[in-house]
Structure 1
Amino acid sequence: MASLRIGATRIALRGLDLPLIADISVERRSQPLGEDADAVPLSRYLDRENLFTVLFSDLALAYIDGALFRDEALAGGATSLLAHLRVDASLAQTTSEKGAFEVGQVEFAQGCVFRSVVDTIADGDDVLLCDDLGDEWADFIGVSTQSNPTMISFYHAKHGNQSLSASAFHESVGQAIKNLGRMSLPADMLPNKLAGWDDRYRNNGVQTDIARIIRGGTPNEISGKLDAVRAAPDVLQRVFIVTSSLSRAQVEGVLAAVAQGTAPTPHFVQLYWLLMSYFSACVEMGVRGYVVCRP
């Protein structure tokens, strides 16, 4: 149970009575675990950092990240949301995010979201790099040097059971927004990146033979292509959250019902505002944001 305090300029999270988090505190990483004298209870930290969302019975209103937003689009059918949803049929058949791994394996397994990105979703990129694990900017980075304009694309892949809950998207949205500033492919960071990409993929303690440079040429050739694209005055930057947990048809059904006066569930309203905040953050950075989901 949560309690709020509504002030003149902000809504405060006055209390959060959840037994599961009652003994959880946020500490500084520089201190040994349990020895930070300034440790803050999780509920107080969420309030201080505005890490909570307040939904209203009026679908046009939401309080997110310490600010009140008004958007009439949801009640009207939310065509702006649908414009950012793309479909890929293979996502309806996926059973995992990355699949299983074996020594000597040369491709991501069939039926995983990673394989969908490689085979169909990013098939228009003539450069495709697996940046998963470590200091990752995205699960995959794609570059299209032959298109006009040229394009840089970040792909964040997630798998989950079909759902209209926002919980499946929090991690992906956070990762996507955090890395928007790296979509310019900072030149000073590329040497270390290229060294990592010129290696084979390793996961769950298994060293596979999957090339992290999936296509695009040698490291030197890729370096030249990235330099050329980064310097292009009209380069288009795109970020994709690729998920098997969302169905566009299901979203369309809920939005059609809302337009006819049927109130959506609070979980769907939360999902709507989470995705709209992601698209808005992309716009602020000059990036085009999308979600690729099952039909």
Structure 2
Amino acid sequence: MTENELINNLTLNENAYFYKKIKKGILSKNLIDTTFKEASSDKMGNYLLRVIKSKTKVNNKDVEYSICVFKYPKKPSFIDEELKDWEEVKLAYIVIVDFENYIAVSKRNISGTKELSKKIFPLDYNTISSLFIDEDTAFEKISMNNMNISDNAVRSKSVEAVDLKESISSLGLQTYIPSNLRVSNDDDKVSLSLGSSRINKFGKKSNIVFFISWSDNIIDKIENFKASENFLTSFATPLDFEKENSSLKPIAILLLLTKLYDEYEANRIESTKLIFEEYEKEIDVISILNNFSRLMEVKELVSDEGNSYFKILNPFVNDLSLSINPKSITLRSSKLKKLMIKLTDGTELSIIDFFNRTSSYIINFDRVELVYSHRKLFKDSRLLANTDAFLSVFKPSTDLNSVSSEKGSVLPTSTEFNAGSIFGFVEDKYLSSFKFFICDDLGKEWADHIGLDENNISFFHSKYKESKFSASAFQDIVGQAQKNLGNLSPADNQWEMKQKFWDRDYVLDKTTTQIHRIRKGSNSDDAIDYFKNLKAQPNLTKKVYLVINFISKLELTDGLQKLKNNETFKERNEVIQILWFISSLISSCNEVSAETYIICKP
């Protein structure tokens, strides 16, 4: 075939990545050539097709396009070492359509285009998310990421319906960031990947001329876009990072391992190793990173040279820090740079580069309503506005002023928990309200106490801490509650384990007591039968109680008011984190139709 015949033989979907140029103007031949060389660094043999800066006219506009197609070898994922004749041969392509201010890129099996990436940036979040939306648009599917800092919150979820704006509650959506959308306008369906600027219109494949024309129509929509209120306004509000970055002061960060897990599940990680000078050692990267899987404090420090920097406080790596750049926030650590990941496509990168590339972290700031997540800065505009609603879940009790421990001390003759303990407080205050009351503490617990009564399942989680406004203690108990929300409706295979556990007496610090785990009720068999019956009730009420001594409602109310007034005070950072944890807990409980109560000091 001739070159033109090869070009016309290409069939492309209406599916491309759209980027805006940092500086307007047509891309240089040298940049296109460099991009093709980067993209085809592992190619096999000659290019199958290579076209650079071919000129065409579409809709009376002069447009240039470039195409690169090549073969490359790939080691199959089911073998350990490369062997002769044991390789797959795959094809890859990249098409770049060059407009004055934008480019459209269609590609397959392409990874490295670093030089091109320096000249472009993704579409504005507000633009791409609303580009195909009007008052009649149906939202068929939304994948979303949670920007909450609780390590046990649901990190992401996907919902689907004929039209979500008519079938999903907007309650709690302000803590979620849409990542992918599928919308429908009459018979036209379009999916949007908001983080990567990919637009995919459902339809048949066509030739390069049609693809260029479609790309031009998308560019026109982008250039003529006007923002308007729509269903997506219910979600977290994106902000212009460049306008805000000079005022950002990070106070906490949560590293996310979900993207790394995804790579493992897709068999895209070949190996992980630690490199130190000429020394290499295969390691289990997951076991190392699990040490970083909870919220970590960020503190602003001053270097020996007099420059301020943001250090991430943790007991494992002493040089982990944040860098606030003009367009993004990135992680830095020379030690974690030595922890390497090798992907099945041959790419090698450090774990710190992996986190930065995937933006796998959530950052909180001293401006309480702001969050940095997935390379974007977002605002939960309702967070401070909802403080009165959040405070309504706090139920003060003067009896918590006198507690001095979580479980108290026990003896072999003990039949109940000490009156001065939180466990004793819970049983004294709530046991009489239930037909069955169970101590499920320790082991694979669902809660510290479980209360069962007519149409009511209640989980009680207790935490004692001597310090005031302990964000870490609150994180622990919120996490305990969140990870057990599914156990409000347990699976059938869990009952046998609980039957054996609830039959035993309570053991604390190797002391076997006479405290029966069935604190009220006949026996474990009857408790389980009652639990099973409750679970099937259509009007079942589910409740989650957090019982804590380290937060005073009055002092928390005062702290939240100071946040509203943007005042500086000693516990400001702790109150900010506690507010996010409260928001996360209430949102999680709402998703399983559970009521939330926090029993605290007055």
- Normalising by structure 2, we get a TM-score of 0.41
Q: Between the two proteins, what is the percent identity of the paired residues?
A: 27
Q: Is the 8 A contact 1:77 1:255 kept in 2?
A: no
Pick from 524, 549, 561: which aligns with 1:244? 549
Secondary structure (helix, strand or coil) at the match of 2:512 reads strand
Aligned to 2:488: 183
Between the two structures, name the one with larger relative contact order (CA 8 Å, sep ≥ 6): 1
* 2:442 aligned residue: 133
Distance in structure 1 (CA, Å) of the matches to 2:560 and 2:419: 33
Partner of 2:395: 86
Note the 1:1-295 alignment, pairs <5 A: 1=311, 2-4=321-323, 13-15=330-332, 53-63=362-372, 70-76=379-385, 78-145=387-454, 150-263=455-568, 265-295=572-602
3-state SS of 2:589 partner: helix
Q: CA deviation at 1:69?
A: 5.1
Tell me how far 1:52 sits from its aligned partner: 5.5
CA distance in 2, matches of 1:49, 1:138: 35
Alignment partners' CA distance in 2, 1:169 and 1:269: 12
Partner Cα separation in structure 2 for residue 108 and residue 284 of structure 1: 33
Cα distance change, pair 15–249 in 1 and its aligned pair in 2 (3 A)? same
Q: Which runs of 5+ in 2 are unaligned?
A: 1-310, 312-320, 340-349
How well do the aligned residues superpose, as a CA RMSD in angstroms?
3.2
Give the superposition deviation at 1:290: 2.6
Residue by residue over 1:125-176, the C-alpha shift from the partner in whole angstroms, topping out at 9 and shown as x without a partner, is: 221101111111111111122xxxx111111111012522311212112111
Structure 1 residue ranges without an equivalent (≥5)? 27-39
Quick one: which amino acid aligns to residue 166 of structure 1?
A
Structure 2 equivalent of residue 30 of structure 1:
none
Distance 2:354 2:423 in 1: 35
CA change 1:198–1:12 in 2 (3 A) is farther
The 1:289–1:78 alpha-carbon spacing in structure 2 relative to 1, beyond 3 Å, is same
Structure 1 residues 85 and 53: alpha-carbon distance in aligned structure 2, compared to 1, 3 A threshold: farther
C-alpha distance in structure 1 between counterparts of 2:324 and 2:510, whole Å: 48
Q: How many residues align?
A: 270
**Contact 1:103–1:206 (CA<8 Å) still a contact in 2?**
yes
Q: How far off is 1:49 after superposition? A: 9.9
Q: State how far apart, in whole Å, the 2-side matches of 1:121 and 1:45 are.
A: 49
- Give the residue type in structure 2 aligned to 1:283: N
State how far apart, in whole Å, the 1-side matches of 2:522 and 2:432 are: 15
Compared CA separation, residues 209 and 57, structure 1 to 2 (3 A): closer
Q: Secondary structure at the match of 1:209?
A: strand
Matches of 2:432 and 2:377, distance apart in 1: 40
Structure 2 CA distance for partners of 1:152 and 1:69, relative to 1, 3 Å = farther
Structure with greater strand share of residues:
2
Matches of 1:167 and 1:189, distance apart in 2: 30
